[in-house]
Amino acid sequence: MNLQCSVHDVSLNAYEKCVEIARNLWWSWHPEVVEIFSLLNTKRWRELGHNPIALLNEFTPEEFEQRVLELTLQARIDAAFRRFKNYVSQRPIWARQNAGVLGSRPVAYFSLEFGIHESLPIYSGGLGVLAGDHVKSCSGLGVPLVAIGLFYEKGYFRQQIDANGNQIEHYITTEVENVPFESVEDKDGNRITVTVDTKDGSIQAKVRRVMVGRTPLYLLDTDVEGNSQEDRELTNALYGGDSRTRIRQELVCGVGGVKALRALGITPGVLHLNEGHNSFATLEAIRQKMEDCGMSFDDAARDVAQQTVFTTHTPVAAGHDYFEKGLVEQTLEPLYTSLGLSLDQFMALGRRNPNDDSEKFCMTILGMKLSRYANGVSNLHGVVTRRMWHCLWPDKREEEVPIGHITNGVHVPSWMAPQVKDLLERRVPGWQEESIDPKVWAGVYNVDPGELWETHFALKKRLVDFARRKLGRQLERSGADSAALDAAKHILDPNALTIGFARRFAEYKRAFLVVQDEERFDQIVNNPERPVQFIFAGKAHPADNIGKDVINRLIRVQRNPRFANRVVFIEDYDINVARHLVQGVDVWLNNPRRPLEASGTSGQKAVLNGALNFSILDGWWAEGYDGYNGFAIGTGKTHTDVRKMDENDNAALLETLENVVIPTYYNRNEHGLPIEWIRLMMNSIATLAWRFSSHRMVADYVNHAYLPAAGGTSVHMYRG
């Protein structure tokens, strides 16, 4: 921090300090700061969706000072402000030692969604939350990176469950003035807008910036005067509209994003494409290279590929974008013409077989062809991805296909409950939440088992309160009678084994698997000595009728008097709901059809809070599970017949639940402590937390992908 700045800061009052803190999303992973906002007015804090700018706007500076006096918050605000200022003015040692080469040429990280905090709803699920955690860890480690995405004023849909148990989708418009946007200007002080051309005319987008700690996130927004009505609405909603909307959004994000960087005077050393959605970014980078250096397309494409990192996230076919030739022509004709390519030459870049005119244009293939470093997101997903895309390297053996893997991780400070953090700070010498050193995390064994259990139990009670509150509001809205409202106040028992299941309701995730056989389910959950309760949450994509049907079946189970106190569905799964769930449950259940879960990250969040994973050996769990740090469903075998696979997995799930999970949980010592269970909790934290953290993940990207891409050396990631 320079002197001028600190002299100035001293003169700020508490209100001004809070406003400054609220204008950088840094606050969102600092519970001591969140607590300040929440204390100011807990009820409004909740009602405003945890948005500090909206909250601060409700106070006059005088009222605010009064409130700070009442609550004696001054010292805490001063401390938070100092911490914030120190944070943003420093470059961490890690980056100075490990990422020096990136220097003034940062990584440009493109993603169609970013899940940073529930108050900035521009994410739908795992992909976005992963991107958010990636950005936060780059901030934490000091990795020079700028993130690029779209600002969706209406975000992703919000979910309600109606009286018939059906999912209702609606959209809430984000008040732009409550988002901590900074104005983005070029060197002459002009607001930056970029223009992308299509055959139907040009689309303009303005560029906004939010700061995520030290890392800038640039968001493009086409709601600009001068655009047609259609284009003004182009970035309204995430995954809304048809494939025309989609390809145009991807054009704006990828091509517009690269143009925005140039307008900002940022020259990236690496392009990182988070999923195929952003593969068009490479085309604009190639175009710029051809123009600047007078290169041919082939030479420029080779250079751009050398500096491009491509991450693919799903083995599910529907997860990859395919566009019709006509739509490609309509949208990209000006761009491929400027690259000196014909439509057919361009289509070939997005096809398995370049000459097969019946093939659509695949964004993943474009990304693979125009990058030298491609990776899946877990060890197993790497294997599956090499098999899936072997066709692009027909003369290589499958294990030589140049696609590696870097396993996903989660941002520890964002997902670990403050109570757990306090406990580890107090009991583990030298413990640091951001450490990726296994020795540091092994310190968890020093914690007193009783104290760990108490901490966990307090968090579980908090989850039960949260579920009751949410359910109460759901019922009020749907006009339930007072008996039902009363029942909701007492639903769930904090002493019962509590299992959480929350994720997108895609078919392969099989949310219904555990309740498939209602008789057996009844026997398990309603055992009076060893009760078990389930909390579900998750959205089905608006076009996914199978997923919606699963939600409806679950709601009917919840409303069945037999399961009245044993099954709760919490609507509108978002980061806030996820945080409560992963911090409060005993067990985190995941039962996808193997190997369709590329990684999964919610179970990693559960680890940080002492919940035990109970999962199919798929995604990250296939490499995380060691026999002593959670529970496996099945043995990692799969069946080609989906019905058989579901049957087998259902049987394995219930058997392990009945014979291992439940008895271990209810096996108490003379002090009422489940000693064996607590040992598993410690094993889980000690062996998994550091390994599946996003700091470890980002360090891997730096070492295996970013540095080689920036330095032009090649590595064989798939061996690493």
* Site residues, ligand PLP (CB under 6 A): 125-126, 129, 503, 573-575, 578, 600-603, 605
Pairing of strands 497-502, 403-405: unpaired
Q: What is d(CA 280, CA 284) in angstroms, rounded to the nearest whole number?
A: 7
Element (H, E) at 534: strand 532-537
**At a CB cut-off of 8 Å and minimum separation 6, what does 254 contact?**
110, 277, 278, 279, 280, 281, 282, 283, 284
Query: What is the phi/psi pair of residue 10, to 5°?
Result: -60, -30
Q: Between residues 117 and 246, which has the closer beta carbon with respect to ligand PLP?
A: 117
SS3 state at 711: helix
Q: Between residues 381 and 503, which has the closer beta carbon with respect to ligand PLP?
A: 503
Provide the minimum distance between the beta carbon of 568 and ligand PLP in the complex, in angstroms, as a whole number: 17
Provide the minimum distance between the beta carbon of 439 and ligand PLP in the complex, in angstroms, as a whole number: 27
Residue 253's closest CA among 277, 271, 236, 276?
277
Q: Between residues 14 and 698, which has the closer beta carbon with respect to ligand PLP?
A: 698
Burial class of residue 226 in the structure, from the number of CB atoms within 10 Å of its CB (0-12 exposed, 13-18 middle, 19+ buried):
exposed
Q: Between residues 116 and 452, which has the closer beta carbon with respect to ligand PLP?
A: 116
Q: Between residues 381 and 605, which has the closer beta carbon with respect to ligand PLP?
A: 605
Q: Between residues 563 and 569, which has the closer beta carbon with respect to ligand PLP?
A: 569
Provide the minimum distance between the beta carbon of 505 and ligand PLP in the complex, in angstroms, as a whole number: 10
Q: What is d(CA 679, CA 682) in angstroms, rounded to the nearest whole number?
A: 5
Residue 712's closest CA among 393, 312, 302, 311?
302
Q: Between residues 125 and 180, which has the closer beta carbon with respect to ligand PLP?
A: 125
| Maximum distance among all Cα pairs of the chain, rounded to whole angstroms | 79
Residue 154's closest CA among 232, 242, 259?
232
Provide the minimum distance between the beta carbon of 216 and ligand PLP in the complex, in angstroms, as a whole number: 23
Provide the minimum distance between the beta carbon of 500 and ligand PLP in the complex, in angstroms, as a whole number: 11
Provide the minimum distance between the beta carbon of 503 and ligand PLP in the complex, in angstroms, as a whole number: 3
Question: How long, in residues, is the chain?
Answer: 720
Element (H, E) at 217: strand 215-221
Q: Between residues 231 and 574, which has the closer beta carbon with respect to ligand PLP?
A: 574
Q: What is d(CA 593, CA 639) in angstroms, rounded to the nearest whole number?
A: 10
What tokens does 635 get? 């043995």
What tokens does 214 get? 């030290």
Q: What is d(CA 483, CA 257) in angstroms, rounded to the nearest whole number?
A: 54
Provide the minimum distance between the beta carbon of 116 and ligand PLP in the complex, in angstroms, as a whole number: 11
Provide the minimum distance between the beta carbon of 154 and ligand PLP in the complex, in angstroms, as a whole number: 17
Q: What is d(CA 586, CA 497) in angstroms, rounded to the nearest whole number?
A: 6
Provide the minimum distance between the beta carbon of 173 and ligand PLP in the complex, in angstroms, as a whole number: 20
Provide the minimum distance between the beta carbon of 577 and ligand PLP in the complex, in angstroms, as a whole number: 7
- Using an 8 Å Cβ cutoff, are 343 and 349 in contact? no
Provide the minimum distance between the beta carbon of 590 and ligand PLP in the complex, in angstroms, as a whole number: 7
Q: Between residues 80 and 377, which has the closer beta carbon with respect to ligand PLP?
A: 377
Provide the minimum distance between the beta carbon of 7 and ligand PLP in the complex, in angstroms, as a whole number: 41
Q: Which parts of 265-350 fold into alpha helices (H)?
A: 280-293, 297-306, 325-338, 343-348
Q: What is d(CA 430, CA 441) in angstroms, rounded to the nearest whole number?
A: 10
Q: Between residues 254 and 382, which has the closer beta carbon with respect to ligand PLP?
A: 382
Q: What is d(CA 111, CA 279) in angstroms, rounded to the nearest whole number?
A: 10
Q: Between residues 598 and 678, which has the closer beta carbon with respect to ligand PLP?
A: 598
Q: Between residues 59 and 534, which has the closer beta carbon with respect to ligand PLP?
A: 534
Q: Between residues 369 and 696, which has the closer beta carbon with respect to ligand PLP?
A: 696
Provide the minimum distance between the beta carbon of 59 and ligand PLP in the complex, in angstroms, as a whole number: 30
Provide the minimum distance between the beta carbon of 291 and ligand PLP in the complex, in angstroms, as a whole number: 40
- Using an 8 Å Cβ cutoff, are 271 and 110 in contact? yes
Peptide bond before residue 52 is cis, with ω within 30 degrees of 0: no
Q: Between residues 629 and 694, which has the closer beta carbon with respect to ligand PLP?
A: 694
SS (H, E, C) 437-472: CHHHHHHHHHCCHHHHHHHHHHHHHHHHHHHHHHHH
Say how many Å lie between the first and final Cα of the chain, rounded: 39
* Torsion sign over Cα 464, 467, 471, 472: positive
